[in-house]
Amino acid sequence: GENVEQHPSTLSVQEGDSAVIKCTYSDSASNYFPWYKQELGKRPQLIIDIRSNVGEKKDQRIAVTLNKTAKHFSLHITETQPEDSAVYFCAASDGYGNKLVFGAGTILRVKS
């Protein structure tokens, strides 16, 4: 079945710097890759997603890139702000498109 690995597990950046979180997946049939942000004690919230027919997608300060050949995708956050501090999860759909498999998460700390 699908396996998703996420790195790093923790990431500290200075306010205004960029942050990059990387994920790899194993199932070449995966075609949907969302990213979720989870603040302490809250539910995961979808922040951006990408489908396999697109290489890059951007939404204001966040962007996601996908390399299908290498089977990895990344989240890029520019001009980080303290409110970006949270746990970020990547996910990949299984080959049937029925469910998501999540990475273990990255704790992002933005220091002001």
Partner 1 sequence: NAGVTQTPKFRVLKTGQSMTLLCAQDMNHEYMYWYRQDPGMGLRLIHYSVGEGTTAKGEVPDGYNVSRLKKQNFLLGLESAAPSQTSVYFCASSGVRGKNIQYFGAGDFGAGTRLSVL
- Residues engaged in binding partner 1 (CB under 8 A): 6, 9, 32, 34, 42-46, 49, 89, 93, 97-105
Shortest Å distance, C-beta 22 to partner 1: 15
Nearer to partner 1 (CB atom), residue 27 or residue 49: 49
User: Nearest to residue 32, comparing CAs of 46, 43, 18?
Assistant: 46
∠ Cα 57 61 65 (to 5°): 30
User: Nearest to residue 100, comparing CAs of 87, 86, 89?
Assistant: 89
Nearer to partner 1 (CB atom), residue 18 or residue 51: 51
